[in-house]
Amino acid sequence: MTRPPSHGIRSARLAGVLLLGLVLVLLEGCATTPRLSESAVQALPSRALIEDVPFHAQRDYQCGPASLAMALNHQGVEASVDELIPQVFLPGREGSVQPEMLAAVRRHGRIPFVIDNRFEALLTELADGQPVVVLQNLALPAWPLWHYAVAIGYDRDANELILHSGEEAERIESFRRFDATWARSDRWAFVALPPGDLPVGIDADDAIAATADFERVQGVEAALPGWEALTQRFPGAAMAHFALGNARHATGDRRGAIHAFRRAVAVDDELAAGWLNLGLALRQQGESDAARAALRHAAALPGPWQSRARDALAEAGESDR
């Protein structure tokens, strides 16, 4: 749990606790139980519990590192709370902020996917067996009390969520109370997955962005299974095929790169960068005629890649004009 710095905090602790209790009562009193779409009602099991998520009790202001350790340990990453504290804890803020949390996941070889901010998206990931790190504001916007927890299950019949939270393992919170506090973070939450695994409800653009961020930290070879999985899940995403082509080329798989670039431009005929990279890869393979054809496509499309394509054609002794 985190809170803004204050003077005389020891003498004010009792008053703060009483105020927090009053705030939580007010929050729950004005909140409503979140509603699920009809498709979610039909698709989701009535109950789910991920039983093998380790629990780390939170110390003062260490809910971020503790939640992160739980999510990473579940994925087989050996990371202790003490190891994570200097990576994500900001003493000046007495807590952890979202960019540091996501960056720490990447440094430990997992991809953090921020999920859609709908209640049913949270339940969908839990039903799929993925614990979800959630950010709550346990107070009010004027006096926020930020808190990270790990959702590990739910009971739809009882309208209850199950969390590892604070000093309590498998804490039970009503859907209504949880959603009231979660909504104040714009329902921010993420799952941490190895490259090659994808959340159930992720869309193509968000998955591409998350994988690209991971690649910048861990390198192309580590990200390659992620790009492979993306093209399988989203065969109509040209940028996923394009990124896969770049990753394959960087790891020495030129034939695989050419195949991926061809898939990219088949999906989006106006993807100039795809045509350019296809042409350059074909030229490296000695397929001159096919290379020139691809480069002519790139040179005909306006934009930042046009001059590069024209230069490549000129090097081959051909003008696009």
Residue 311 lies in a domain: yes
Q: What gap in Å lies between CA 14 and CA 234, rounded to an integer? A: 53
Q: Which residue has the tokens 């902020």?
A: 97
Residue 1 lies in a domain: no
Residue 208 lies in a domain: no
Q: Give the chain's end-to-end CA distance (angstroms, integer).
A: 64
Of 193, 210, 245, which residue constitutes the final position of a domain? 193
Q: What gap in Å lies between CA 108 and CA 88, rounded to an integer? A: 13
Whether residues 159 and 244 share a domain: the answer is no
C-alpha closest to that of 211 among 199, 221, 223: 223
Joined together, the tokens standing for residue 58 give: 């939170």
Residue 4 lies in a domain: no
Look up the CATH number of the domain holding residue 290. Answer: 1.25.40.10
Long-range CB pairs of 303-311, under 8 A, 24+ apart, other chains included = 303/272, 304/272, 305/272, 305/273, 305/276, 306/272, 308/276, 309/272, 309/275, 309/276, 309/279
Instruction: Answer yes or no: are the C-beta atoms of 182 and 123 closer than 8 Å.
Output: no
Whether residues 136 and 260 share a domain: the answer is no
Q: To the nearest 5 percent, what fractions of the chain are helix, strand and coil?
A: 55, 15, 30
Q: What gap in Å lies between CA 219 and CA 223, rounded to an integer? A: 6
Joined together, the tokens standing for residue 24 give: 């939580």
C-alpha closest to that of 214 among 201, 200, 198, 203: 198
Whether residues 239 and 295 share a domain: the answer is yes
Whether residues 75 and 162 share a domain: the answer is yes
In order along the chain (321 residues), what is the average pLDDT of each group of 10 residues? 35 36 50 86 95 90 91 96 86 72 97 96 97 93 88 97 96 96 96 98 96 98 98 98 98 97 98 97 94 96 93 77 47
Whether residues 142 and 228 share a domain: the answer is no
Output the pLDDT for position 88: 87
Instruction: Answer yes or no: are the C-beta atoms of 127 and 151 closer than 8 Å.
Output: no
Output the pLDDT for position 290: 95
Residue 214 lies in a domain: no
Q: Which residue has the tokens 């430990």?
A: 108
Neighbours of 87 (CB within 10 A): 17
Whether residues 162 and 37 share a domain: the answer is yes
Whether residues 72 and 187 share a domain: the answer is yes
Domain that holds residue 240: 223-315
Whether residues 82 and 139 share a domain: the answer is yes
Output the pLDDT for position 319: 55
Whether residues 156 and 281 share a domain: the answer is no
Whether residues 274 and 129 share a domain: the answer is no
Whether residues 28 and 82 share a domain: the answer is yes
Positive or negative torsion for Cα 237, 253, 111, 129? positive
Look up the CATH number of the domain holding residue 117. Answer: 3.90.70.10
Phi, psi of 157 (to 5 degrees): -65, -35
Q: How many H helices and E strands in the chain?
A: 14, 9
Residue 204 lies in a domain: no
Of 155, 175, 193, which residue constitutes the final position of a domain? 193
C-alpha closest to that of 265 among 233, 301, 232: 301
Q: What are the strands, taking DSSP E only, across 175-268? A: 189-193
